[in-house]
Amino acid sequence: MRFSNLLFALSLAACTPGGPVDVGGVRVDANLRALADEQHFDYTGHLSKTLKNDTTSLAQLLSFDAGQDSLVATGHGHVLRAVLEKLGDSHFSKNLAALPEDVRRRVWAALEQAGAASLQTTAPLTFKVVMPATEPTEHRGLYVFDPKNSTFRDCAEPDAKYVTIDETDGDLEKNYRRLLKFPYPYQPVFAEVKGFKTPYFGNRDLSGDFAGFFIVTEILDLEVKNYRNTCIPYDLWAMGTEPFWYAQVSEAEGVIEFRGMDDERTKVFSYQPPIQDDSLKIYTGVNQDSGDNIRIEVSENGPCSDGMSDIKYRLSVRMTMNGKEYNGCGIPFEAAAETGEEAGGN
């Protein structure tokens, strides 16, 4: 008798206006119902008809705007996930495809908000429908892998940075790690890829530092960055032999980099504006974390030879790295960009 009373009490609580309700095995949260009531939207009614294959009610349910409240949006996403599972990917995606882009965008965000697994994995047909209808094109630029937000700087837009979404089955990360065994934080590589740009992607937030999302669909080439391939302007690219070394100074990237062949790790320093000392332009940097320090003296007095070829470079470079002196030649970005050759001038 007591058990029957308990079941009755639970059933009554589920049907009260302030509690969650179950519609055909799909839970509708109280806060979601409250928002729907404010909008005079029969949420549970449309859900019930949707589960009976009423396509008109399905369109209404998909078009419902859950607003900015994360709890409500998540609750609506759980409902849509359940509907997707019950109706099937083919039926759900077909009806969603008939709705405007802003509706598809909201549905995508709600589904991603509520799902632990990627929509691409659980419902590939629906994922194809919600993805922006943009044809991938070829792009060249600098790519950085990061577990939270990978980024891409396009050669065509060197001042803009995009959050990168890898749609290559993880090949971007694999190739990045293959090229850079010991990358410093946010170290870029040169990338030629196919993809497209979009202002939104699922429920991913976009901070003001980024111009949008860049969806990579195919990798054409990935290389370690050098002065021949990088298209983001730099102040100086210096190099020397015996032993071989190179250094990049880039205000645009905010870094000074050094790499010697005796160490697989690239040493990095925050960019600081140069000091002019008579005919010398001097760049310095200190990495507080590693204790490394660098000083690069650049001179335009006469041509510079790399000691291995007949090429004459415009700039001479003397560099001190942690007390060790290196000598070599330098190329400014504009010279390399204009000539496309190794020499920085005649």
Q: Which pLDDT score, from 0 to 100, does residue 208 have?
A: 82
Identify whether the C-beta of residue 127 lies closer than 8 Å to the C-beta of residue 120: yes
Is the pLDDT confidence value at 40 over 50?
yes
Is the pLDDT confidence value at 15 over 90?
no
**For residue 219, which of 282, 265, 160, 152 has the smallest C-alpha distance?**
152
Identify whether the C-beta of residue 316 lies closer than 8 Å to the C-beta of residue 301: yes
341 falls in which pLDDT band (50, 70, 90)?
Answer: very low
pLDDT digits (tens, 9 = 90+) for 273-285: 999 988 899 999 9
* Percentage above 90 pLDDT, the chain: 71
Q: Which pLDDT score, from 0 to 100, does residue 116 have?
A: 67
Is the pLDDT confidence value at 16 over 60?
no
Residue 111, helix vs strand vs coil: helix
pLDDT digits (tens, 9 = 90+) for 179-198: 998 899 999 999 999 999 99
Q: Which pLDDT score, from 0 to 100, does residue 337 have?
A: 59
265 falls in which pLDDT band (50, 70, 90)?
Answer: confident
| Max avg pLDDT among 61-65, 201-205, 260-264, 301-305 | 61-65
Is the pLDDT confidence value at 176 over 90?
yes
Q: Which pLDDT score, from 0 to 100, does residue 345 have?
A: 42
DSSP 179-236: H-SSPPTT--EEEEEEEEEES--TT----TT--EEEEEEEEEEEE---TTT--S--SE
pLDDT digits (tens, 9 = 90+) for 112-132: 988 767 788 889 999 999 998
Mean pLDDT over each residue of the chain, to the nearest integer: 88
For residues 275 and 321, give the distance between their C-alpha atoms in angstroms, rounded to a whole number.
17
Mean pLDDT of 303-315: 78
Mean pLDDT of 190-211: 92
Compute and round to an integer the Cα radius of gyration of the chain: 29
Identify whether the C-beta of residue 148 lies closer than 8 Å to the C-beta of residue 113: no
pTM of the model: 0.80
Question: Residue 241, exposed/middle/buried by CB under 10 A (0-12, 13-18, 19+)?
Answer: middle
Phi (first) and psi of residue 101, to 5 degrees: -60, -40
Query: Lowest-pLDDT range, 5-19, 39-53, 80-94?
Result: 5-19
User: Which residues have a Cβ under 8 Å from the Cβ of 101 and sit 6 or more positions away?
Assistant: 132
CATH of domain 137-223: 2.40.50
For residues 79 and 342, give the distance between their C-alpha atoms in angstroms, rounded to a whole number.
60
12 falls in which pLDDT band (50, 70, 90)?
Answer: very low
User: Which residues have a Cβ under 8 Å from the Cβ of 254 and sit 6 or more positions away?
Assistant: 270, 271
| Domains of the chain, residue spans | 13-130, 137-223, 236-339
